[in-house]
Structure 1
Amino acid sequence: MDNDAVTWLKLHFLPFEAKLRNQLARICQSPAEVDDVIQETYCRVLQAGSLEHIREPRAFLVQTAKNIVMDKLRREAIVSIQAMASLEELGVEDGGPTPERVVAARAELDWVLRLAARLPERCRKVFRARRLHGLSQKETSESLGITVSIVEYETIRAMDLMSGMIAGATPDKAQPPAQETKPTRRPMNRHVDN
């Protein structure tokens, strides 16, 4: 028996087992059948091998139990309509975003990309490298052939310009500066003795 799987069961299944039993009691015809489904769920988890890839343990366990009940119902000659209706109640908690959240996130990303498109060229390139592609300042400077200090400057500049555009409430109202300004260097005071 795999000790990692046993530990995983102790951490994720045992605290949740009572709730799963209550859900299964509405579907199964007897307490003995609930016990059988729970036991089979234990067996399948132990036989699964690696469990590291499971991000939502409860959803995995519910889906495993649901699959066991479905297999049992398929084997039976007559399926109770009530059992099938109750099976739907044993829903799987999806840890992912809802379709509405996905659509909203895509719309938000599209809006940010439209705002970024209004940035001056170098500022836009730095913003995309840093914020969209997740490059470090050093990686950005190397990929764009500019210094790290320019990357810092353009990142701050991009954020300031984007904040101004966002404050304008719509991406179409805010306009970036007409011309690109470059970081200024303070002249060094050199005293030359003649």
Structure 2
Amino acid sequence: MVGDEVYAGWEEIYRDNVDRVYRTLFAKLGNRADAEDLTTEVFLAALRPLRVAAPVGQVRAYLLATARTVLAGHWRRTLGREITTLDDERVEIAFTEQGGLPDQPDRVAAILAELPERYRKVLRLRFLEGCSVKEAAEELGVSVGNVKVLQHRALRQAARLAEGTQP
């Protein structure tokens, strides 16, 4: 299906695009459960505004754009909610008396402390202070494109650290 063809209905839209949307999200998240949850969010978010009579190419483009929006919201919620304070000092993860990990904010702060300073700064500006990409670029003295690259790399490295795959 391509070109000016249209889908017969929502079931066909879902069947034809669910794997594409899931793979896109999984590639960014590296986490099956989150990718599945966000895939569901994408289709729920697209349910009202998406026209079934739109050409297949437009439907696919809209779903992938919606996936990017849902993913950005996920990162904002995840990083913004879990971090209460951020010290520039290196934070050590201390085990609780029961032998488990401490509260999530401490864990997130510890992960951020492991990141290079530029990565910490871009995540702090974008997610904790709510700066736009343009505002973060001005603050850091770099281009908008550079902020996007730094943010992507910072999130990817933070995810690796969170999963314990970073040396």
TM range (shorter): 0.3 to 0.5
Query: Which is greater in Rg?
Result: 1
